[in-house]
């Protein structure tokens, strides 16, 4: 019996900045993942996700045609596809919005390039990826307990 290589996870990158997309693509491919599509707007991200059916979508929160709306639409149309929202500066409000949009993660665009492929694999495997510093405020916000 021959060893058959494990199929590569397929990732869609949606960000309106070409350099960010290029950097994320390089990080993911260096980690053995396949980038199956790129998009510059929320609408393009939705169309590409429906066409390509990736394992995971990395979606910029702040891009034309709203990354949060794109994340919600992708999760509704493709429940098996995971979504990680990315942003320049993660904050509590953004983490809550990401969770309410159904995102499986919320990360800084500056995430360690060596860790990114591992994070993607973990999320596809069923884990979530939110900054530890935001988990307490996120849980309090979602459960309605306002005290810190």
For residue range 66-109, list pLDDT tens digits in order. 999 999 999 999 999 999 999 999 888 899 899 989 999 999 99
Residue 51: φ, ψ to 5°: -75, -45
Instruction: Give the pLDDT of residue 67.
Output: 96
Tens-place pLDDT, residues 119-143? 999 999 999 999 887 777 777 777 7
Q: What is the domain partition of the chain in residue ranges?
A: 10-143
Tens-place pLDDT, residues 27-68? 999 999 999 999 999 999 999 999 999 999 999 999 999 999
Instruction: Give the pLDDT of residue 136.
Output: 76
Instruction: Tell me how far apart the alpha carbons of residues 56 and 69 are, in angstroms, rounded to a whole number.
Output: 16
- Note the residue count of the chain: 148
> Considering the entire predicted model, what is its pTM?
0.89
Q: Which two tokens stand for residue 9?
A: 């996870």
* Domain 10-143 CATH class label: alpha beta
DSSP state of 1: -
Q: Which two tokens stand for residue 17?
A: 């900045």
Cα dihedral across residues 46, 49, 52, 58: positive or negative: positive
Tens-place pLDDT, residues 1-15? 555 455 689 999 999
């Amino acid at each position: 019996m021959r060893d058959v290589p494990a199929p590569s996870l397929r990732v869609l990158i949606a960000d309106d900045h070409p350099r960010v997309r290029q950097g994320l693509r390089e990080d993911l491919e260096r980690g053995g993942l396949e980038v199956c599509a790129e998009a510059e707007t929320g609408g393009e991200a939705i169309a590409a996700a429906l066409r390509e059916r990736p394992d995971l979508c990395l979606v910029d929160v702040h891009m034309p045609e709203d990354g949060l709306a794109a994340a919600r639409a992708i999760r509704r149309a493709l429940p098996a596809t995971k979504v990680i929202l990315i942003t320049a500066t993660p904050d509590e409000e953004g983490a809550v919005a990401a969770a309410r949009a159904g995102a499986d993660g919320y990360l800084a665009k500056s995430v360690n390039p060596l860790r990114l492929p591992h994070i993607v694999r973990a999320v596809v495997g069923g884990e979530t990826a939110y900054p530890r510093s935001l988990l307490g405020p996120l849980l309090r916000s979602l459960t309605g307990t306002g005290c810190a």
